[in-house]
Amino acid sequence: MADEKFQETLYKGWRTEYTCAEVYFDSETDHQRLIIFRNPDFGRMMMLDGITQTTEADEFIYHEMLAHVPILAHGAAKRVLIIGGGDGGMLREVLRHPTVEHCTMVEIDPSVVELSKEHLPNHSAGAFDDPRTNLVFADGAAFVKETTDRFDVMIVDSTDPIGPGEVLFEDTFYAAARNCLAPGGVLVTQNGVPFMQPDELRNTVAHLRNLFADASCYLATIPTYVGGPMALGWATDNPDLRNVDETVLEERFKKLGVKTHYYTPAVHKAAFALPGYISEIIG
């Protein structure tokens, strides 16, 4: 129905309303209510259980920053693990790195992948068909606990800690995630908007600091994730990776030879400069 409205219901005292020009899918999957619709400003959008997940217009910011920051900081990542990310955007950005030889993606809800292929095809841009892709439909927390594989970079592209994504914010998950990393590996996570969700970031960084030699966060500003910049968690046992010189990042990025719309080596370095209120949250 033209001009239908969808409200995001993530916060108790604040609602964001999106005009819907066309609905492509609106139904319950085995795990959650999934809606894909078109907004005049953001293009096609996906909501899960009333929470905005991704849009055609601004997805590049989130996916570029969660993929390129850890991979270029690492400098020699060959094996990458993605937890979540069913729309395929994270997989697309990871596989833009020719040095990545293998990427396992673990998604709990097959419907997210299939509907994204159909209605948000530019997100994955063929990445699901890349021979380096190993797509696994499973609970991400169970996978990291049970797998014997080791990865250079692990990206937790999760929903908020509500419903299926809740277990991906627990200390037991982070401990299992650490065991999935090869020596010198990097873990990055989606940690919400600190201004609106300070406890989510505070708790995650506290868990990570108990497990890793270096744990913090970096920032990206994504229009549809309202309330300020989004925090992306960072953890590794190699503290040098957070401090890679910008000239080194520039060399690696130039060698990569891809065009990005948000990520640059300068933005990479600046993203770790935290405003005072976020530094106070993580302590």
Using the predicted structure, report yes or no on whether residue 283 has a pLDDT greater than 90. Answer: yes
pLDDT at 230 (0 to 100): 97
pLDDT at 193 (0 to 100): 96
Confidence of residue 224 (pLDDT cuts 50, 70, 90): very high
Using the predicted structure, report yes or no on whether residue 217 has a pLDDT greater than 80. Answer: yes
Do 78 and 102 form a contact (C-beta atoms < 8 A)? yes
What mean pLDDT is predicted for residues 223-234? 96
Do 156 and 188 form a contact (C-beta atoms < 8 A)? yes
Do 111 and 34 form a contact (C-beta atoms < 8 A)? yes
CB under 8 A, 24+ apart: contacts of 121-126 = 122/56, 123/54, 123/56, 123/59, 123/87, 123/88, 123/89, 123/92, 124/87, 124/88, 124/89, 124/91, 124/92, 125/88, 125/92
pLDDT at 2 (0 to 100): 53
Round to whole Å and give the CA distance between 276 and 7.
31
The dotted CATH code for 59-282 is: 3.40.50.150
* pLDDT per position as a tens digit, 247-263: 999 999 999 999 999 99
Q: In what order do the strands lie in the sheet with 214-220?
A: 133-137, 102-107, 79-84, 151-157, 181-190, 230-236, 214-220
pLDDT at 43 (0 to 100): 98
Do 115 and 25 form a contact (C-beta atoms < 8 A)? yes
* pLDDT per position as a tens digit, 112-141: 999 999 999 999 999 999 999 999 999 999
**Residue 240 structure tokens:** 């040098």
Predicted TM-score (pTM) of this structure: 0.94
Respond yes or no: is residue 149 known to be catalytic: no
Q: What angle do CA 39, 43, 44 make, to 5 degrees?
A: 90
Domains of the chain, by residue range, sit at 4-54, 59-282
59-282 matches 4-54 in CATH topology? no
Confidence of residue 165 (pLDDT cuts 50, 70, 90): very low
What mean pLDDT is predicted for residues 167-171? 65
Pick the closest to residue 75 from 215, 212, 184, 181 (CA basis): 184
Using the predicted structure, report yes or no on whether residue 4 has a pLDDT greater than 90. Answer: no
**Residue 7 structure tokens:** 């409200």
Cβ-proximal residues to 254 (8 Å cutoff; 6+ apart), any chain: none
Active-site annotation holder among 157, 237, 240, 245: 157
Round to whole Å and give the CA distance between 29 and 36.
13
Query: Other CB atoms closer than 10 Å to residue 194's CB: what's the count?
Result: 25
pLDDT at 273 (0 to 100): 98
Using the predicted structure, report yes or no on whether residue 161 has a pLDDT greater than 80. Answer: no
The residue type of 197 is Q
**Residue 188 structure tokens:** 């990055």
* pLDDT per position as a tens digit, 177-215: 999 999 999 999 999 999 999 999 999 999 999 999 999
pLDDT at 171 (0 to 100): 82
- Give Dmax over CA atoms of the chain in angstroms: 53
Would you tell me which CATH number, out of the four given (2.30.140.10, 3.40.50.10540, 1.10.3720.10, 2.40.50.100), belongs to the domain 4-54? 2.30.140.10
* pLDDT per position as a tens digit, 12-57: 899 999 999 999 999 888 888 899 999 999 999 999 998 999 999 9
* pLDDT per position as a tens digit, 62-119: 999 999 999 999 999 999 999 999 999 999 999 999 999 999 999 999 999 999 999 9
Do 145 and 138 form a contact (C-beta atoms < 8 A)? no
